[in-house]
């Protein structure tokens, strides 16, 4: 099972991804998490990415594409994976298509989790109080929402053309949302 999980910041992509990876026994790649680890370990990617992460801005496409091309071509990815937070822009989606062609992988679905924007902002402000994430402040939360609607939401249309999109209501209890996702994937 090879999946992309799309949805605005705060919709619960990370939570659902963790549950889905167990259910389908696949790898989970959160590019936000990977980038935060790179920053922590002060790697070359981390040094390049930090300024964008701290400002709630998108890290350049070239960095993401190189990072994901390397990761996805490793053998352990063959059975399946779930991409959480990638792609985030049309050029990333186009780059990902090329990578997948090269390694002969086919996507099974793009799950689009939906929710009301106001609800999301409230959730993120609450998460920011105890997450310790440098990008969970109200100002940056608003910026990250805007970037989502401007740059990432167009991916829904992009993937709709290949008939891959499965829309799922992201509001409700966590297990209930997982069930909805599993149901549309069957």
8 near ligand AMP, rule: CB under 6 A = no
> Of the ranges 18-26, 51-59, 104-112, 171-179, which one interacts with ligand AMP (CB under 6 A)?
51-59
Sign for the CA dihedral angle at 15, 152, 37, 109 comes to positive
Interacting stretch for ligand AMP, rule CB under 6 A, among 17-25, 55-63, 71-79, 171-179? 55-63
Q: How near is the Cβ of 40 to ligand AMP at its closest, in Å? A: 13
For ligand AMP, the closer of residues 71 and 179 by Cβ is 71
In 3D space, the residue among 62, 98, 91, 77 whose CA is nearest the CA of residue 29 turns out to be: 77
58 binds ligand AMP (CB under 6 A): yes
CB of 65: closest distance to ligand AMP in angstroms? Answer: 9
Looking at the Cβ atoms of 94 and 179, the one nearer to ligand AMP is 94
Range list of H helices, the chain: 13-24, 31-40, 44-54, 61-72, 90-102, 117-131, 138-147, 154-160, 174-185
Site for ligand AMP in 119-158 (CB under 6 A): 135, 144
Task: Find the binder of ligand AMP among 24, 29, 81, 86 (CB under 6 A).
Answer: 86
Q: Which one of 69-77, 86-94, 99-107, 168-176 is the stretch in contact with ligand AMP (CB under 6 A)?
A: 86-94
| Block residue for tokens 């980038």 | 35
Closest CA to 14 of 68, 65, 85, 73: 85
CA distances from 76 to 28, 71, 73, 79 (A): 12, 9, 9, 7
Q: Does 159 bind ligand AMP (CB under 6 A)?
A: no
Burial class of residue 130, CB neighbours in 10 A (0-12, 13-18, 19+): exposed
38 touching ligand AMP, by CB under 6 A = no
119 three-class SS: helix
Where on the chain is the footprint of ligand AMP (CB under 6 A)? 9, 31-32, 35, 52-53, 56-59, 64, 85-88, 92, 135, 144
């Amino acid at each position: 099972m090879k999946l992309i999980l799309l949805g605005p910041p705060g919709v619960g992509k990370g939570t659902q991804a963790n549950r889905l990876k167990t259910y389908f026994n696949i790898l989970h790649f959160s590019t936000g998490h990977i980038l935060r680890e790179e920053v922590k370990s002060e790697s070359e990617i981390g040094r390049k990415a930090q300024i964008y992460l701290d400002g709630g801005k998108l890290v350049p496409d070239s960095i993401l594409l190189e990072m994901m091309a390397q990761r996805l071509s490793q053998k352990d990815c063959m059975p399946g994976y779930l991409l959480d937070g990638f792609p985030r822009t049309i050029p990333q989606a186009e780059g990902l298509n090329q990578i997948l062609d090269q390694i002969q992988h086919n996507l099974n679905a793009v799950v689009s989790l939906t929710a009301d924007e106001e609800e999301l902002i409230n959730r993120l402000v609450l998460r920011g109080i105890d997450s310790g994430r440098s990008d969970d402040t109200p100002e940056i939360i608003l910026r990250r929402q805007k970037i989502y609607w401007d740059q990432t939401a167009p991916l829904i249309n992009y993937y709709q053309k290949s008939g891959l999109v499965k829309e799922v209501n992201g509001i409700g209890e966590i297990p209930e949302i997982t069930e909805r996702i599993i149901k549309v994937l069957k």
